[in-house]
Structures are given as structure tokens and as C-alpha cells.
Amino acid sequence: MGSAIPYVSNQLFKFICAIMALLKPVHGDYLIGVGSYDMTGPAAEVNMMGYANMDQITAGVHFRLRARAFIVAESAQGERFAFVNLDAGMASQLVTIKVLEKLKSRYGDLYKEENIAISGTHTHAGPGGYLQYVVYSITSLGDLENAGINRSPSAYLFNPAEERARFPNNVDTLMTLLKFVDEESNKSIGAFSWFATHGTSMSRENKLISGDNKGAAARFFEDWFRTNNSKRNRNLVKTAETIKATGGQLCNQTTSKAFKVRKTDGSQFVGAFCQSNVGDVSPNVLGAFCLDTGKPCDFNHSSCGGNDQFCVGRGPGYPDEVLSTKIIGERQFEKAVELFNTATEEITGKIDYRHVYLDFTDLEVRSDNNSLVKTCPAALGPGFAAGTTDGPGAFGFQQGDTKINGFWKILRNSLREPSQYQVDCQRPKTVLLDTGEMFDPYAWAPAILPIQILRLGNLIILSVPGGTQPIPNSLSPPDLSSNQISLLLQPSGDSTPPGINFGDVKQDVVTPKGGSFNRGERATAAFWSGNPRNDAFTEGTFAVVERLEGENWIPTYDDDDFCLYFKWRVDNSTVPLPELNQLRNHRMGDTKNSSSWCIPI
């Protein structure tokens, strides 16, 4: 899990430096830089973050993850801030620490904790291992009303009636869009929008890296700006049939980038879909149903006959999760385009920011009845273990549980029995896992958290968990990078069966009856390749489809496209048992020196 940290922080550092070079004046006398960069990470054998499903291991790419950012400054030497939106489960304290260290080494105090914000879209289909706490590593305005529902409506009803009466829905349907326009050309260079819906259109069984519905919306928005007027020859069946396997060739970052369909030239439009107050908002808008009966789940407990494992939410494309991802992404994209085309309110005014670290384990808070209460160390309750309708949790739990059975108590106490202080402090919530008091081998949960506000004229961006005025203190989060343990083995040694080379075709495309594919049909081919963990191919590609235009083959789709999947799996079916055991026992050393393979098409 520690191996992903330097990768993420190095990429973000280079990314922010590149955006700084693009700073240019736009309306309102601001300097604006926008950018987008590949942050896909390991495409095989790494646990995904979000569902806490130990079996959900990366095994390919649905479409690539990206970091999208804007930097805004009053002038070359004036106040500025940077906002980075990641196709990731969440931002990371440790990644932020490492990025700031690198920025300071190059730019001094120009960027610091106060004026750089890193946010995650909350996709549940990205690699984990970049957060430093144990519990994360084990496992214009407009309404948009059809992209999210409340997945815990019974819990929402416990809110006071007068509070619920203030809102027309039990979810926030507001989308806010910020549009950037170049002053010289009067053309837009990007747009960032904020809307609340979970990145759980792809299920807990999915093993393809994916930006989920927000990543899809960003892809659709950016493609909307791309033009392609070239004529295409569709009579390619006979030509395609003459192509034979080449046996593969050594491939590196440069070779991989040459195949990319979307090549970044510094003028690319950036369309980011950021997460807002997502809470319990689910993109599975058809509701939750029982797998065994097909009937709606129990309203109060999100279970089926007492079993939470059978209660699963359905997206609008059910049973096709990729179609659901596409539909929810399109709905956000379409609303963003509407807001983009009608945006008229120009932002002017001061750039400012506030940031403070607070210890959330012992804060005094004044409640609605004016009584003084305190926060507690972090703890997970039975509701966490029950999961949600987007991804059911462990057996033996239901939503709304207030008790823990004997088996789970014994298991809990073997890790850490909660102190009496914690039990009293957390009441009426039952403590299932006392993460705030667990420090072996290092802290399981953060205690010191940031509160941040960014101001761009009359636009205010609040970073979770909230906002305040400056509070002087000397708190800072710990840097646990030296304590990180890795539960991830190095990639196994790559080998092919006798007589087979890397790049050889294992299964060619099967041409349908009639000799050609119709729109919507899927073509599949399999090749022998090395382990994708040997090379992330950042800003490159694992797979590409080319189209014949005249006498030239032109890259048309790659693994960053929504319609092309790259899947990877180990095939030991043709390896003799002695060699198989040797492969299992073999582990490669420094992966930076290892080779990976690509296939020219």
C-alpha cells in the first residue's frame, strides 16, 4: 500500500508545475491555468478503495483516471490558490504533505497548506494504498433531479420535521458550474462543476479501474469540445483480416504515448465534475431490491429477510453497470452543458483563503439546545459494517442495528476493546471498531483534520469537513510515510507457454455471421502480455484500436475511451506444474527496471 504514495505525489507535483506554466489572464483580471493529467496507477493486483471488499482487485481499465485542476491568481505575484479534482475515492493527507514538500522545494512559499485544495470525486473503482491510516488501506446554478436518490430514506426521516420542511427533496439537487473563458480569444478553456452523487455506479464486483459516473461525465464533456472532421473508410473487414500478430515489441512510456488518441498539447479543454455534499446520495436511482425475490428491500433496515447481503441498489441501466455509469454520467454532462451555455454571471473580486488543522477527538460543540458537548475519538459502528445498498457489508449486520452479537464482540475485542470513556462518549452509537484508539502498527484513523475555505470573488469553495476564520494553533497532521507497511507483493515473474511470445494472439476477434459488426456489438481479442503493474503507462495506453484512413492507420480508440475495455488476468492453464510453482515462488526486484510489452495494431 505504500508503493502508490510516491507515484501519486510525484505525478501531482509535475502536474501542478505544468499548470503554472499555462497561467494566463482571463475576464475579471485573473490569471488562470487549467490542466488534466493521467493518474490511473496500477492496473492489476491492487485492492480498490471504496467498498472495503478484499476481493475487489484491479484487473484492467474501463477508462483512465485523471487529475483535473485549475490555478487562479490575482496577478503574477498576487494571491492565488490551486484546486485539484482527482478521479479517486478521496484525497489523501499524506499525498498532500508530499506534494507540498516538492512544491516548496521549487517555489518556496508560493504554495502552502492554506492555498492548495485536493479533492476526490469518490469513485469506488480506483486503486487504493495512497492513504496513510490503516483503516483506509485494509480494505451558474441548476437542479439535476434524476442522478441521485437518498439510499437511507428511513434515516433521513429522523431529522426534525421543521428542518425537512426547508427542502423540497431528501437529497441536494443543486449543480454549480464555474466556467473559465480566455480574455484574448473569448473561448472557454475549461469548466468545473459540483454536484452530489456517489461514485458507485460500478459495483463492488467490478475489477476495472474506472472514474465511474463523474469520470464519465468529464470524458463526455471534454469530448464535446473535440472535433473530428476526417472522412472514415468503413469497408475495412478484408484489410483487417490480413493483419497477423507481430509477436510484440518492447514498449515504454514514449512508445505507449505515441498510440494515444487524445494527445495533450497545452490547449486541451478541461471539464471536471467535482463531488459536493454527497452524504447518502446514491446514483442507483431505481432503488434497492432483493436479489432473491426481486422485491424492494426492507425500508427501515435495507435488508431482505434480515440479510443485508441480498439488498442491492439498481442503476438506471440495470443489470448493466457500465450502462448505468454512462447514463448517470450523461445526465451530469447534459446539465453541465446547459449551465455552461447559459452562464452569464461574471466573477470578480478578491482571491482569499483560510485553513486550519483541528484535533477532532476532543472539540467542544454547542448543540441546538445551547448545551455544551464534546466530540470523541473516531469509531465505526454497526451501520458501517452493514454497508449500504450500493455495496452490502459484512454478514450479521443491518442498517439501524444498535447491538453487536457475541461473535463480532469477540473479534472486535481481539483487536481493541473500546475504553469506557469511548463507550460513554459515543453513546448512543455502539462501538464496533475503536479506530480512534488503535495505534498498532500505527494510527488507524486520523485525529487532526483540515478545515479550509477558498474564495474566488463571490464564489466560495468549502473543503470538508467545514469552514471557519483563522484559528492560531500549532497543530499539523503526522507524516506516517516512514511507518507505512505494504501488504502488496511485487509483480510475479512474467512468462509465456513454450512456443508463445509476448504479443501473440491468444484469441482473435470472431467475426459475426454476415462478415461485419453492427453498432453496439462487441469485438473481443486476447493477447499474451506482461503484468500491467510493471508499467502504469502514464499518459499512455495499454490498448489501442486503429482505423484505416487512406493508406494510414490512425489511432481511434484507446484505454481512455469509454467504449474500449482493457482486461488482464493470469492464465496458468497451459503452464506445467513445476514451472507454475517456480513462477509462484519468484518475485521480481526493482520494477522500474523491468520491461512491459505492447502490441502494435
Backbone φ, ψ for residue 541 (5° rounding): -155, 150
In the residue annotation, 282 being an active-site residue is answered as yes
Give the span between the Cα atoms of 25 and 256, in whole angstroms: 34
Tell me the three state secondary structure of residue 10: helix
Give the span between the Cα atoms of 543 and 559, in whole angstroms: 6
Closest CA to 468 of 451, 491, 481, 480: 451
Catalytic residue, candidates 119, 140, 282, 529: 282
Please, what's the b/e burial string for 70-101 (b: 16 or more CB within 10 A of its CB; e: otherwise)?
bbbbbeeeeebbbbbbbbbbbbbbbbbbbbbe
CA 89 to chain centroid:
4
* Phi-psi label, residue 257: left if phi above 0, alpha if psi -120 to 50, beta otherwise: alpha
Q: How many CB atoms lie within 10 A of CB 234?
A: 8
What separation in angstroms does the CA of 127 have from each of 5, 90, 278, 489? 11, 11, 21, 15
What separation in angstroms does the CA of 310 have from each of 313, 323, 392? 10, 22, 8
Give the span between the Cα atoms of 217 and 260, in whole angstroms: 20
Give the span between the Cα atoms of 377 and 360, in whole angstroms: 7
Sequence-separated (6 or more) residues with CB below 8 Å from residue 60: 43, 44, 207, 208, 209, 532, 565, 566, 567, 568
- β pairing state of 141-143 and 174-181: antiparallel
Angle between helices 321-342 and 212-224 (to 10 degrees): 50
DSSP 132: S
Is 198 known as a binding-site position? yes
Cis amide leading into 428 (omega within 30): yes
DSSP 220: H
Name residue 335's beta-bridge partners.
none
Three-class SS string for 438-470? Answer: CCCCCCCCCCEEEEEEEEECCEEEEECCCCCCC
Is 122 known as a binding-site position? yes
| Burial (CB count <10 Å: 0-12, 13-18, 19+), residue 240 | middle
Give the span between the Cα atoms of 189 and 270, in whole angstroms: 7
| Catalytic residue positions, numbered | 282
Known binding-site residue numbers: 122, 198
Known binding-site residue numbers for Zn(2+): 122, 198
